[in-house]
Amino acid sequence: MVESGIVQQDNQFNERINAKPFCDVGSSMTFYFDDIKHFMLRLNVLLLEINKQNTTMGSRRNFLEKLTVSAVGLPLLYQSNPLFAASEAPYQGPVLKVAIMGLGSYGTRVAEAMKDCKRAKLVGVISGTPSKIKDWQAKYDIPKKNCYNYENFDAIKDNKDIDAVYVITPNGLHKDQSIRVAKAGKHVICEKPMAVNADEAQEMVDACKAAKVHLLIGYRMHYEPKTVEVIKMRQNGEFGKVKFFQGQSGFTIGDPSQWRLNKELAGGGAMMDIGIYSINGARYMLGEEPIWVTAQETKTDPIKFKEGVDETIQFQLGFPSGAVANCLSTYNMSHLDRFFMTGSEGWVEMQPSTGYGPIKGRTHKGELNQPHTTHQTLQMDGMSQLIFEGVQPIVSLDGDEGLKDMKIIDAIYKAAETGEKVAISL
C-alpha cells in the first residue's frame, strides 16, 4: 500500500520536474522546493519500506547497499542543488558597515573579499586620490555622502551609515589616522603592523579605550581554517609539550622608491612588513608569550635598505616553558613562507603558512585538509561577529594583541643593534 502511494506521488513530482528545468530558481522556487521536500520525505518512507521488505526476506546486505547509495546521494543532492542552497535562511543579523581608508593594493583585496561577506559590507571610502574614489563609487556602489579624504574624514562622526573604518595605509600613518577615527566614535580596524613602535601602539589602545570603540588588527590568519585547526591541536595536547617553532617570512622586494623602503612611512623594513608574521605566528602556534629575544642583522644592500630599514634579521624568542622560536625575516630572499613546530608527541609543517592561500600543511597525523576560504572574507565576517556579538576568534586580534607584537619588534631591533639578549615582559 505504501509503495503504490509513493509511485503515485513520485509521478506527480516527475511531471513537475519535467515541466521546468530543475535549476530554475525564478518565481517557481517555492513550488519546486516544496516538491523536493516532498520527494525527500517520500524517499525516507521508501527506505523504511525497503528495510521492512529486506528484513522479511532476510536480505540485510541488499538493504545496506541501497541505504548506502541513498545516504551518499542525499547530501550530494542537497549540496549541489541551488534550490537547497537558496533555501537556507538568509542572514538577518547586524551588518558591520565599513569604510576603507587607503585604496591601495591591500585595500582593493579587502574590498573584493568583502563582496562575499554576509556580516560586513563596504559602504564608504577615505582616500587622497579623487580618481580612485570615483572608480570605487562606481565599482562598489558607494554613495557620495560616504566618501572622504584625509583632510575631512573627522566628519565621519556625523555619518550614521558607517560603523567602522579599516585603516589600510602605510604603517607610519596608522597611529594618527586610527586615533582620529576613534575620536570620531567609529570602531577602528587597523592593518599590521598597527604602528611603528610600542609607544605609538599604546597611544592607539588608550585612545580607542577612551572613545569606547573596538580596536582590531588585521591578523587574518586568526580566522584561517588550517591555522585554527593547528592551534586547536596544540591546545588539545596533540603535539605533546611543544618545544620549538621555526618561522621563515620573506620575499624579494622590488621598486626601491616604494614607501615600504622609507623609514618614516614604513617604520622599519622587512620586520615591520613580513617578519611580523613569524612573530605573531610563534605566539599563536606555541601559545605562550616570549620572555627574551636575541637577534642578528645582515645587510647586503645598504643603498636599497637605508639606515633604519632592515633587510634581513634572524631572531630567537625564548618562552617561559623553555620552548624557543628561531625565525627569519627578510626583504632579500624569495619563497620564504614556512612554519614548523615540534613537540614531544608530534609536529606540524605549513608552507605556505601566511600567504593569501590556500595554506598548505601537514602534521604527524597527515595532511591538513580544511577548505580554503578567502581570508579577508572570514576576517571581516568574524570581526563583525566580534563587535556585535562578542564572539572572539581562537586567538585575539585586538589592540593589546597588536601592542605585544610591537613590543617584541622594539626588542628585536634593540637586540640586533646591541647584540645583547633583551628581556621582555608582555
Q: Least distance in Å: CB of 299 to ligand NDP?
A: 21
Q: Least distance in Å: CB of 259 to ligand NDP?
A: 5
Residue closer to ligand NDP, measured from CB, 104 or 352: 104
Q: Least distance in Å: CB of 108 to ligand NDP?
A: 8
Contact between residue 119 and residue 94 where contact means Cβ atoms under 8 Å apart: yes
Confirm whether 192 is a catalytic residue.
yes
Which residues lie near ligand NDP (CB under 6 A)?
102-107, 127-129, 132, 168-171, 173, 191-192, 218, 220, 259, 265, 273
Residue closer to ligand NDP, measured from CB, 103 or 359: 103
Residue closer to ligand NDP, measured from CB, 102 or 269: 102
Q: Least distance in Å: CB of 94 to ligand NDP?
A: 24
Residue of 97, 186, 192, 226 with catalytic role: 192
Give the three-state DSSP class for 218.
coil
- Helical packing angle, 2-19 and 29-57, nearest 10°: 150
Give the three-state DSSP class for 77.
helix
What are 342's strand-pairing partners?
244, 347
Residue closer to ligand NDP, measured from CB, 54 or 330: 330
Closest residue to ligand NDP in the complex (CB): 104
Give the Cβ contact number of residue 190 at 10 Å.
Answer: 28
Q: Between the CA of residue 306 and those of 5, 26, 196, 257, 295, what are the distances in Å?
A: 83, 62, 16, 11, 19
Residue closer to ligand NDP, measured from CB, 218 or 361: 218
> How much of the chain is in helix, strand and coil states, percent to nearest 5?
50, 20, 35
Residue of 32, 277, 331, 413 with catalytic role: 277
Contacts of 190 by beta carbon, 8 Å cutoff, 6+ apart? 166, 167, 174, 178, 204, 215, 216, 217, 218, 402
Q: Least distance in Å: CB of 140 to ligand NDP?
A: 13
Catalytic residue annotation: 192, 277
